[in-house]
Amino acid sequence: MTGSADGRLDPKYDAEPAAAASTTEIARKTLDRAVSHLLSLQNDAGWWKGNLETNVTMDAEDLLLRQFLGILTEEQTRATAEWIRSQQQPDGTWATFFGGPAELSTTIEAYVALKLAGDDITAPHMKLASKWIREQGGIAASRVFTRIWLALFGWWPWEKLPELPPEVIFLPRKAPLNIYSFGCWARQTIVPLTVVSAHRPVRPAPFDLDELHADPNDPYPTRPTPPIHTLDGFFIRLDKALHYYHRMPVKSLRRLALQQATRWIVERQEADGCWGGIQPPAVYSLIALHLEGYDLNHPVMKAGLAAFDRFTVHTDEGHRWIEACQSPVWDTCLATVALADAGLPADHPALVSAAEWMLGEEVGRKGDWAVQRPGLPAGGWAFEFDNDNYPDIDDTAEVILALRRVALDEPARSAAAIRRGVDWVLGMQSKNGAWAAFDVDNTSTLPNKLPFCDFGEVVDPPSADVTAHVVEMLAADGRARDPRTRRGIDWLLREQEEDGSWFGRWGTNYIYGTGSVVPALIAAGIRPEHSSIRRAVNWLEEKQNADGGWGEDMRSYQDRSWAGKGKSTASQTAWALMALLAAGEEGETVDRGIRWLAQTQLEEGTWDEPEFTGTGFPWDFSINYNLYRLVFPITALGRYLHGTPHLTPEGQSVDAEAAELPYGGGPETPAPRRGLLPSLAGRRLR
């Protein structure tokens, strides 16, 4: 690999025809250009952050929030409306991911935002949207959160929404359906919504939405009540009782509940003014605090609104859209691993700068996770710039893997942070031996049955992808034979699908799960010839597209027949290659994947990937991480050329024969030497 005077990889690409070049040479040239581009994107402070795209509900709700608070400007409305229009599909609808099917609630919220911007309901794009909405059942068929937004302006009656009493804040931790029964993102949303629900505010609506009711004569239909012996039936009857309580609450208890809920919200505001680093808790927290008397000039409100300004993306076309979240820690640790895999020396300035920044982002105080683990010392990393209340296990595992690849002037500082992170992750293991993203044993199914929980996942059970990243990290820490690691491995082996794949909770979907688990199992000492690895390899080989790449559509979350099927993407092709390379695969399947990456690379060094390959809530909330298309191909290409980091520094696979594990696991894996990239036998020669 050629280098330039500043230590970066040479971006020049030789003009050798692809047909005459070996796959190795093609991979090398493709990698050079990708690495140069990734290095050019690094912030001076050391971090990377790609835009995080979701869907237009973020933008519509931003306008509605500002309209509710009385701070919406003409320019914000114009630029946001132009973005929303640009995302409308030919049939007049909006989807939740690129190329996806029309989605009712998203289309309703987009329509309302455009009407707020002054679009005439008789305009062709508005007529198409309203006609489709009516055909799907109208506003009455939309999700609860959409109807809550409409209730704020009198477009839907509060009496027709599930009741959320603020008194739930008093439920003890061991009580069913206490706020800690929910995943962190859900509890941060539910607590402020209890305040909003108690106030039931209605701002004067600037127009009506009669054209969005399927039946104008019955705009607020009553849904059938399931039998009382079912959970759904029980909770609907409980909701009716809570509506009666809303009319005649115990005033002193209601007042105290509102005070405690408000205090809970304020205490969880992050340093950057946001809540949880994500959009839903932030918008509802601002509304709740405003209803509780917080003036817009109050420091808490000013900081919260300023946070949204930092989440705002302005495009060259004059569009304005809102990131649902920001991912600098995640992007930076993945970029660091990718560049190390690509062959950058461990003391390269870009890697050192990234490591120093990540060390500064370590979470040093306890958050809500400590409710379940009160005696566990703080440690770990969050996903965002500021989210100290909710560090997550996935980021922590990947940051530790990244830090181990960098040589710092003060290695003791990095070693201490790694040790705290490892201890924290081990302390966050769930009873079944696996790991979730944020919480421990957050597995109750009751929250999903509540009438207002129709907006996606509301609990945080362990997942294969997070568990795999933890196992991989623990193996790198020399803990492959640790009983806690072995319990995680056993859980992963049990969770394998019959076809050989693994479900991907935080990435799309079975390709992501399989691409995460196979490298982790190999890192932990599972032999490549183990039946689980062979089944996974066979599945990946079967799912390779005719063009040589891999892809999987979000529809696989709803329809298992879509598993491993979809248009080839750079990120998903890289995940498949990472698994195959970790399993020691060579030959046509791998070479075709490498050549697909080379053939589809853009001149600047990255890849075009409008497809969404990240997951917030399976099917309900999809994400396009704009750096996935770059960091994962770099990782795959680097491992193709140099071998994988899941081998010992000597380049030999872990000896599984000495292990006393039924699945053929290996002995404790030595920690990699700092700055030494493991290699199978130098560069591949083909």
- As a whole number of Å, the CA-based R_g of the chain is 26
258 has a pLDDT exceeding 50: yes
Check: CB of residue 462 under 8 Å from CB of residue 503. no
Which residue type is seen at 22? S
Confidence band of 157 (pLDDT split at 50, 70, 90): very high
Q: Which residue has the higher pLDDT, 243 or 12?
A: 243
- Active site residue: 394, 439, 477, 591, which one? 394
With beta carbons less than 8 A apart as the criterion, state whether 622 and 628 touch: no
Residues 143 and 244 both lie in one domain: yes
Domain boundary among 322, 345, 361: 322
Identify whether 659 is part of a domain: no
Same-domain pairing of 63 and 31: no
Q: How far is CA 458 from CA 185, 253, 444, in A?
A: 8, 27, 10
Mean predicted confidence (pLDDT) in 622-630: 97
CATH code for the domain of 210: 1.50.10.20
211 and 68 in a common domain: yes
Tell me: the pLDDT tens digits for 188-206? 999 999 999 999 999 999 9
Q: How confident is the model at residue 359 (pLDDT cuts 50, 70, 90)?
A: very high
Average pLDDT over residues 201-217: 95
The Cα 682–Cα 686 span in angstroms is: 12
Query: Does 173 share its domain with 302?
Result: yes
Size of the chain in residues: 686
pLDDT of residue 659: 37
Lowest model confidence (mean pLDDT) among 195-209, 279-293, 661-675: 661-675
pLDDT exceeds 50 at position 645: yes
How confident is the model over 572-600, as pLDDT tens digits? 999 999 999 999 999 999 999 999 999 99
The answer to whether residue 662 scores a pLDDT higher than 50 is no
Q: What pLDDT score was predicted for residue 343?
A: 96
Number of compact structural domains in the chain: 2
Q: Would residue 449 count as lying in a domain?
A: no
Percent of the chain topping pLDDT 90: 86
Reported as type and span, the H/E element at residue 193 is: helix 184-199
Query: Is residue 309 within a helix (H) or strand (E), and if so which, with residue range?
Result: helix 299-310
621 sits in which H/E element: strand 621-625
* Tokens describing residue 628: 């996935």
pLDDT at 671 over 90: no
600 and 551 in one domain? yes
Q: State whether 121 and 28 are in the same domain.
A: no
Q: Is residue 664 included in any domain, yes or no?
A: no
Q: β-strand 52-53 against 621-625: which pairing, if any?
A: antiparallel
CB 671 within 8 A of CB 404: yes
Rounded to the nearest 10 degrees, the angle between the axes of helix 328-342 and helix 23-40 is 140
Q: Is 184 domain-assigned?
A: yes
Sign of CA dihedral 328, 331, 332, 333: positive
Residue in the structure block whose two tokens are 């890849």: 607
Q: Is residue 607 part of a domain?
A: yes
Half-sphere exposure of 545 (CA within 13 A, CB side): 24
How many CB atoms are located within 10 Å of the residue 589 CB? 16
Q: Give the structural domain span for 341.
A: 18-50+327-442+466-642
Instruction: Kindly report the average pLDDT of the chain as a whole number.
Output: 91
Q: Is 394 within 8 Å of 466 (Cβ atoms)?
A: yes
pLDDT digits (tens, 9 = 90+) for 303-316: 999 999 999 999 99
- Residue 2 is assigned to a structural domain of this protein: no
Burial bucket for residue 657 (CB in 10 Å: 0-12, 13-18, 19+) = exposed
Respond yes or no: is residue 6 known to be catalytic: no
Q: Are residues 209 and 298 in the same domain?
A: yes
> Is residue 447 situated within a structural domain?
no
- Other Cβ atoms within 10 Å of 256 Cβ, number: 15
Domain termination residue (choose one: 305, 322, 339) = 322
Confidence of residue 466 (pLDDT cuts 50, 70, 90): very high
Q: Please indicate, yes or no, whether residues 124 and 256 belong to a single structural domain of this protein.
A: yes
Q: Residues 545, 551: contact at Cβ < 8 Å?
A: yes
> Which element (helix H / strand E) includes 617?
strand 614-617
C-alpha to C-alpha distance for 24 and 641, rounded to whole angstroms: 7
Same domain, 475 and 622: yes
d(CA 428, CA 407): 28
Single-letter code of the amino acid located at 365: R
CA proximity to 614, closest of 536, 473, 505, 466: 505
> Cα dist. 524→107, 139, 648, 665 in Å?
46, 51, 11, 7
Q: What is the pLDDT of residue 454?
A: 79
- Rounded to whole angstroms, how far apart are CA atoms 677 and 651? 9
d(CA 170, CA 151) in angstroms, rounded, equals 26
| pLDDT surpasses 90 at 663 | no
Give the tens place of pLDDT for each residue, 402-443: 999 999 999 999 999 999 999 999 999 999 999 999 999 999
The single residue listed with the structure tokens 């739930």 is 168
Please report, as a single letter, which amino acid is at residue 504: G
State the CB neighbour count (10 A cutoff) for residue 22: 13
Same domain, 271 and 338: no
- Are residues 263 and 358 both part of a single domain? no
Q: 382 and 275, same structural domain?
A: no
Phi and psi of 388, rounded to 5°?
-65, -20
> Does 457 map to a domain?
no
Q: Is the pLDDT of residue 649 over 60?
A: no
| CA geometry: angle 300, 452, 555, nearest 5 deg | 100
Instruction: Report the 10 Å Cβ neighbour count for 16.
Output: 12
pLDDT-wise least confident of 3-12, 321-330, 347-356, 491-500:
3-12
DSSP label of 95: B
pLDDT at 654 over 50: no
Query: What does the pLDDT read at residue 20?
Result: 53
